């Protein structure tokens, strides 16, 4: 029976009944009064009592002896209090309730308390001993962590939660919480570095963005025999950086036709095949300073990469241009090509009168010069239609045997030739698909808000880059403002980008008179491929800054030449060309855009990917 000043339990908390009725008013520790239903509380002592000092001066009890008596029987909470404490008071009733909820010796309800079996008590005792030992070991570990006296590798087991957070596999860390530190990937990374459990050479960004570093699992078979146009009479050049290992495009010129030859993995990677599904899940090839993880298995490169074999299967785009260099006609062929590989440096040397290193290269010089002239005309055409040209310094970061190198990327003339030919191929493929009403992945870009009077120099390019809007992938064609093209897509990197492979699958399906994917299927594949590719971009960006900070970590106090881009609040955005990075620096004097300023490296934060500089 409920009456005032009785002791009850409300949500495992002691409660004093202060008023009865249809609803019961109870008082909780801390002085809070609430109204509850009778079924919401359980009476454990009739009172009178108070909550004050309820857990103080509880008589010593013998829970183990009481358990031996109760085992196999059922008693009330009142009887349990008397067995354990020899007396039934408000204090012993609450203490007995806590024993019941503790669960080591007893289980059940207030009116039916049962003793656990001996085996359950043994298991429970062992678990508690293990937990106590774990707490003691963990407390000792935290003390070693604070005093920087870790015992590695054995202490590594306590850092697994920190490592998981640094890799982005969880958003919690018991260790960081125990230390009173923020539970963030950056703080986890910092702790792993300061504890010497990680070295600077562990890059967490691919894992943080869910990128697999394992090679592609799907075996890609060689292309089967099929009718291909023999284009081996053309001088075809695959021009790329010296470190490129997966050339997937080559260029030729014949009379008034520009040819762009592209690797043909869609010959065997058909829509919905295992290779297609895996490539879609990866989105793109992952290029890291420490290595490359190909979208397609490396074993497929000898079959499809251009110039790795004497003859290469290709999808060749024959582009005929008008006098103003707009596209007049496009034909696409499954082909055989014979490709000569050149680095940008080699191609530039040949274009400007350098000495060829082989007869094949010597014979190709006139074609390279004609391709350069064609590229220049295409640039003129695009600039007339509003194309935006941005040329900011870039660098190539690589890691070899633990050593980080940062090398400026030079602006090769041959790189511009390749770029313009690839743009022609993308534009011509988009027009070709549009004319045939073929569902197709298109790339567009809305116009940006460019300044009326853009600045000159690097500051001007920086200004224009800030105006650029993200590109859009869609099954509908649209204007690509930045390139100055009415219709555009990307088709020249099917070994490296899933969306290019998807375009090739549609082209090949049309050439074989197969039923192409419909627009909805294109959109679903675009969305999946681009979501994966976005993670690739983020992992590459994070990795780049990680290794750049590692490169700078032992260079504090060194000076670097910077160029002012703009003023942003009290700071200036300054570009350091040889590092290909931007930083914000507080400078007391007024600076003008494009003005050069010397910066001194003051600190480096590898976990944040940040470096701080002071203006000299």
CATH number, domain with residue 168: 1.10.10.10
Q: Are residues 96 and 135 in the same domain?
A: no
Residue 207 lies in a domain: no
Q: Are residues 96 and 130 in the same domain?
A: no
Look at residue 402 in the predicted model and tell me its pLDDT.
Answer: 87
Single out the residue of 90, 105, 18 nearest to residue 57, CA to CA.
90
Q: Are residues 401 and 476 in the same domain?
A: yes
Tens-place pLDDT, residues 22-55 = 899 999 988 899 999 999 999 999 989 988 888 8
Least confident range from 101-115, 347-361, 502-516, 533-547: namely: 347-361
Range of the domain at 149: 120-198
The residues pairing with 319 across neighbouring beta strands, listed in sequence order, are: 258, 330
Last residue of a domain, one of 73, 101, 117: 117
Q: Are residues 174 and 279 in the same domain?
A: no
Q: Are residues 95 and 138 in the same domain?
A: no
Residue 220 lies in a domain: no
pLDDT at 299 over 90: no
Domain count for the chain, please give it.
Answer: 4
Look at residue 277 in the predicted model and tell me its pLDDT.
Answer: 96
Residue 578 lies in a domain: yes
- Rounded-to-integer distance, Cα 232 and Cα 312, Å: 9
Look at residue 124 in the predicted model and tell me its pLDDT.
Answer: 94
Q: Mean pLDDT throughout 502-527?
A: 94
pLDDT category at 233 given cuts 50, 70, 90 is very high
pTM equals 0.84
Look at residue 491 in the predicted model and tell me its pLDDT.
Answer: 97
Look at residue 255 in the predicted model and tell me its pLDDT.
Answer: 86
pLDDT at 361 over 80: no
Q: Are residues 130 and 112 in the same domain?
A: no
Q: Are residues 430 and 500 in the same domain?
A: yes
Q: Are residues 522 and 594 in the same domain?
A: no
Tell me the percentage of the chain whose pLDDT exceeds 70. Answer: 98
Residue 1 lies in a domain: no
Single out the residue of 57, 182, 66 nearest to residue 113, CA to CA.
66
Q: Mean pLDDT throughout 253-273?
A: 94
pLDDT at 357 over 80: no
Distances (CA, A) of 142 to 88, 180, 188, 285, 528: 43, 11, 15, 41, 44
Q: Are residues 602 and 520 in the same domain?
A: no
Single out the residue of 45, 83, 48, 50 nearest to residue 64, CA to CA.
83
Single out the residue of 355, 352, 357, 353 nearest to residue 340, CA to CA.
357
Look at residue 356 in the predicted model and tell me its pLDDT.
Answer: 61
Single out the residue of 217, 346, 219 nearest to residue 282, CA to CA.
217
pLDDT category at 360 given cuts 50, 70, 90 is low
pLDDT at 359 over 90: no
Q: What is the CATH number of the domain that holds 563?
A: 2.40.50.140
pLDDT at 560 over 70: yes
- Dihedral angle, C-alpha 506, 509, 514, 520, nearest 10 °: -10
Q: Mean pLDDT throughout 101-128?
A: 93
pLDDT at 202 over 90: yes
Residue 211 lies in a domain: no
Look at residue 448 in the predicted model and tell me its pLDDT.
Answer: 87
Last residue of a domain, one of 89, 117, 145: 117
- Close Cβ partners of 166 (under 8 Å, ≥ 6 residues apart): 185, 188, 189, 192, 198, 204, 208
Residue 240 lies in a domain: yes
Look at residue 358 in the predicted model and tell me its pLDDT.
Answer: 63
- The DSSP secondary-structure symbol of 480 reads B
Look at residue 496 in the predicted model and tell me its pLDDT.
Answer: 95
Q: Are residues 320 and 373 in the same domain?
A: yes
Q: Are residues 296 and 366 in the same domain?
A: yes
Cis peptide before 547 (omega within 30 of 0): no
Residue 95 lies in a domain: yes
Q: Are residues 126 and 65 in the same domain?
A: no
Last residue of a domain, one of 507, 525, 543: 543
Residue 203 lies in a domain: no
């Amino acid at each position: 029976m409920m009456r005032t000043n009785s002791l009850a339990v409300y949500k495992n908390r002691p409660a004093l009944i202060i008023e009865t009725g249809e609803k019961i008013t109870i008082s909780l520790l801390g002085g809070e009064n609430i109204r509850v239903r009778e079924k919401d509380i359980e009476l454990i002592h009739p009172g009178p009592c108070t909550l004050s000092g309820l857990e103080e001066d509880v008589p010593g009890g013998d829970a183990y002896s009481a358990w031996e008596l109760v085992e196999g029987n059922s008693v009330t909470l009142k009887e349990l209090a008397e067995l354990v404490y020899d007396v039934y008071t408000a204090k012993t009733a609450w203490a007995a309730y806590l024993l019941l909820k503790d669960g080591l010796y007893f289980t059940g309800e207030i009116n039916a308390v049962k003793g656990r079996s001996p085996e359950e008590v043994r298991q429970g005792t062992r678990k508690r001993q293990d937990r106590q030992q774990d707490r003691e070991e963990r407390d000792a570990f935290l003390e070693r962590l604070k005093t920087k006296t870790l015992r590695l590798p054995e202490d590594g087991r306590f850092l697994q939660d920190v490592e998981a957070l640094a890799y982005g596999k969880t958003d919690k860390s018991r260790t960081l919480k125990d230390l009173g530190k923020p539970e963030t990937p950056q703080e986890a990374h910092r702790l792993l570095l300061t504890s010497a459990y990680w070295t600077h050479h562990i890059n967490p960004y691919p894992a943080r963005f869910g990128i697999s570093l394992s090679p592609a699992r799907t075996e890609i078979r060689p292309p089967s025999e099929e009718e291909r146009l023999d284009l081996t009479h053309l001088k075809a050049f695959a021009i790329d950086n010296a470190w490129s290992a997966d050339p997937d495009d080559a260029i030729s010129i014949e009379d008034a036709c520009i040819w762009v030859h592209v690797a043909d993995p869609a010959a065997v990677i058909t829509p919905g095949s295992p290779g297609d599904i895996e490539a879609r899940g990866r989105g793109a090839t992952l290029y890291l300073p420490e290595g490359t993880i190909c979208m397609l298995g490396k074993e497929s490169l000898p079959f499809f990469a251009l110039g790795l074999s004497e003859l290469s299967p290709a999808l060749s785009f024959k582009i005929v241009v008008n006098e103003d260099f707009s596209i007049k006609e496009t034909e696409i062929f499954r082909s055989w090509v014979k490709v000569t590989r050149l680095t940008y440096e080699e191609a530039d040397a040949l274009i400007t009168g350098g000495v060829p290193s082989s007869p094949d290269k010597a014979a190709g010089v006139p074609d390279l010069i004609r391709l350069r002239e064609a590229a220049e005309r295409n640039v003129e055409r695009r600039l007339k239609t509003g194309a935006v040209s941005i040329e900011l310094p870039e660098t190539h970061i690589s890691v070899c045997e633990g050593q980080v190198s940062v090398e400026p990327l030079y602006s090769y003339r041959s790189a511009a030739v390749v770029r313009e030919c690839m743009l022609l191929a993308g534009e011509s493929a988009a027009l070709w698909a549009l004319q045939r009403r073929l569902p197709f992945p298109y790339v567009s870009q809305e116009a940006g808000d460019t300044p009326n009077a853009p600045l000159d120099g690097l500051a001007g390019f920086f200004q224009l880059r800030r105006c650029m809007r993200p590109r859009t992938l869609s099954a509908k064609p649209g204007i690509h403002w930045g390139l100055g093209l009415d219709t555009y897509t990307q088709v020249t990197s099917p070994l490296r980008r899933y969306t290019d492979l998807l375009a090739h699958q549609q082209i090949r399906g049309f050439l074989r008179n197969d039923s192409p994917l419909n627009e909805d299927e294109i959109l679903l594949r675009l969305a999946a491929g681009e979501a994966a590719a976005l993670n690739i971009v983020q992992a590459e960006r994070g990795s780049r800054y990680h290794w750049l900070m590692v490169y700078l970590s032992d260079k504090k106090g060194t000076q670097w030449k910077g160029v002012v881009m703009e003023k942003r609040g009290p700071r200036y955005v300054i570009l350091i060309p040889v590092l290909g990075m931007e930083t914000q620096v507080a400078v007391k004097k007024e600076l003008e855009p494009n003005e050069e300023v010397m910066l001194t490296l003051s600190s480096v934060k590898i976990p944040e990917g940040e470096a701080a500089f002071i203006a000299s």
